[in-house]
C-alpha cells in the first residue's frame, strides 16, 4: 500500500501497537524520530521500523547469526501487527448485545466471530459464537494479544479448518524437542533430510513465540520425573 494512503494518526496508532508487541517479544524500542522507531536487542541497535510496517537495518546485522535471527523475529512481529492494524482501521464496531466493552469485528463467518478490544496492553483478541438469536455472542475464547492464535481459533470455530489438522502450541514445542533430539544424535542420514529437519525447527520457532520458555518448562518437568524415579528406586 502506498504510504500516502495511510494517515499520520494511523501511523501513530501502528507505532504504539508495534512498540507494545516488540517489548512483549523481548526487544527495546525508542521514541519515533523522522518517521522511524528504533529497535534494539540486547541493548544494541538492531533496526528501525516506519509507520507502515517497513524495516531498515544495516547489512552487518544479517552477518551475525544471532542478530539475524532476532531481526527475523522483529519482521514476524511487525508483519503480524501491520496486518491486524490495517484491518482494524476499517473494521466496524461489533454489533452484539450484552457486551460491557466496545469491540471491533475483524471477521464473522458461519456463526463464529473474531473481534478485538483496545486496552492499556494494546489490542486484545477474542473469538465467540453467535447465539441462536444472532443478536448476542457466547462462549468467548480470550487470547490476549495473540492475533495468530485468535485467527487459528476463529478458523476452527467457523469450520474453515478441521481442528484435527492443526497442532497446538504445546504440541509444536514437543515436536521441536523431538526433531532437535533426532538431529543431534548424529545418526546416518542425508543432506536432504537434515535440511528438512532444520526447516521444521525454523518453522516451529517462528510459529511459537515463547518456544524457549515452553521447552524450558518441559525440561524442568523431565528433571522432576527423573528425580522421582530415582527416589523411588532408592526406597
Residue-by-residue pLDDT tens, the chain, 235 positions: 444 478 999 999 999 999 999 999 999 999 999 999 999 999 899 999 999 999 999 888 878 888 888 999 999 999 999 999 999 999 999 999 988 789 999 999 999 999 999 998 999 999 999 999 999 999 999 999 999 999 999 999 999 988 777 788 888 999 999 998 888 888 888 888 888 998 999 888 877 877 888 888 877 777 666 656 666 666 5
Residues 7 and 81 in one domain: yes
**Could you give the CA distance from residue 131 to residue 181 in angstroms, rounded to a whole number?**
47
Residues 49 and 116 in one domain: no
Residues 99 and 85 in one domain: no
Residues 36 and 60 in one domain: yes
Residues 96 and 76 in one domain: no
Residues with Cβ within 8 Å of residue 23, at least 6 apart in sequence: 29
Residues 74 and 14 in one domain: yes
Query: What integer pLDDT is reported at residue 26 of this predicted model?
Result: 92
For the chain, the residue count is 235
Residues 17 and 84 in one domain: yes
For residue 110, give its domain range.
92-165
Query: What integer pLDDT is reported at residue 167 of this predicted model?
Result: 83
Q: Hunting for cell 510459529 — which residue is that?
A: 207
Domain count, the chain: 3
Query: What integer pLDDT is reported at residue 233 of this predicted model?
Result: 63
Name the DSSP letter for residue 136.
B
CATH number assigned to the domain comprising residue 34: 3.30.310
Query: What integer pLDDT is reported at residue 215 of this predicted model?
Result: 84
Residues 40 and 72 in one domain: yes
Q: Tell me the pTM.
A: 0.74
Query: What integer pLDDT is reported at residue 206 of this predicted model?
Result: 78
Amino acid at each position: 500500500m502506498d504510504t500516502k494512503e495511510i494517515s499520520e494518526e494511523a501511523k501513530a496508532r501502528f507505532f504504539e501497537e508495534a512498540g507494545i508487541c516488540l517489548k512483549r517479544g523481548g526487544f527495546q524500542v525508542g521514541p519515533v524520530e523522522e518517521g522511524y522507531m528504533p529497535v534494539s536487542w540486547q541493548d544494541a541497535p538492531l533496526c528501525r521500523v516506519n509507520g507502515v510496517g517497513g524495516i531498515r537495518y544495516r547489512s552487518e546485522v544479517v552477518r551475525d547469526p544471532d542478530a539475524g535471527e532476532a531481526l527475523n523475529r522483529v519482521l514476524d512481529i511487525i508483519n503480524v501487527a501491520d496486518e491486524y492494524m490495517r484491518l482494524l482501521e476499517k473494521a466496524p464496531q461489533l454489533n452484539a448485545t450484552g457486551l460491557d466493552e466496545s469491540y471491533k469485528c475483524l471477521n464473522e463467518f458461519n456463526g463464529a466471530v473474531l473481534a478485538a478490544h483496545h486496552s492499556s496492553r494494546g489490542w486484545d483478541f477474542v473469538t465467540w459464537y453467535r447465539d441462536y438469536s444472532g443478536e448476542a455472542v457466547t462462549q468467548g475464547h480470550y487470547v490476549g494479544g495473540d492475533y495468530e492464535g485468535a485467527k487459528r481459533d476463529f478458523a476452527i470455530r467457523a469450520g474453515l479448518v478441521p481442528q484435527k489438522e492443526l497442532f497446538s502450541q504445546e504440541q509444536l514445542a514437543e515436536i521441536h524437542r523431538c526433531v532437535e533430539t533426532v538431529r543431534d544424535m548424529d545418526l546416518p542420514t542425508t543432506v536432504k533430510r537434515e535440511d528438512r529437519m532444520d526447516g521444521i525447527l525454523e518453522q516451529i520457532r517462528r510459529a511459537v513465540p515463547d518456544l524457549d520458555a515452553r521447552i524450558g518448562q518441559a525440561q524442568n518437568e523431565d528433571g522432576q520425573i527423573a528425580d522421582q524415579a530415582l527416589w523411588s528406586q532408592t526406597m
